[in-house]
Amino acid sequence: MINYRTPIHSANAMDTRDNIILDGDNVTLYKCISVEDMPLAMAYVPWQQWKTVYDLNKALKIGTIFPELDLPFCGMRGEHA
């Protein structure tokens, strides 16, 4: 469970694209702020970052190249495929 009281720069804090930084290795960094500091009455989906991707054949079968977005239907509580 995400702990909304985590301090700034924690991996669990919500992120913002303010101050997108491209460092020498062409990696995009994101500044993190706490969910508590985000304005009320709005919805926030976290920014996806490019990590490793599935190989071509697996990606087509699954329906996405991104393992983080591979969230299959199991039809049963407590089960994760």
Binding residues for another protein, rule: CB under 8 A, are: 16-18, 20, 22, 26-28, 39, 41-48, 50, 53, 56-57, 59-66, 69-73, 75
Do the Cβ atoms of 48 and 22 come closer than 8 Å? no
Q: Which is nearer to another protein, 8 or 27 (CB)?
A: 27
Q: Which is nearer to another protein, 11 or 42 (CB)?
A: 42
Q: Position 16: which residue type?
A: T
Q: Which is nearer to another protein, 1 or 45 (CB)?
A: 45
Name the minimum Å distance from CB 57 to another protein. Answer: 6
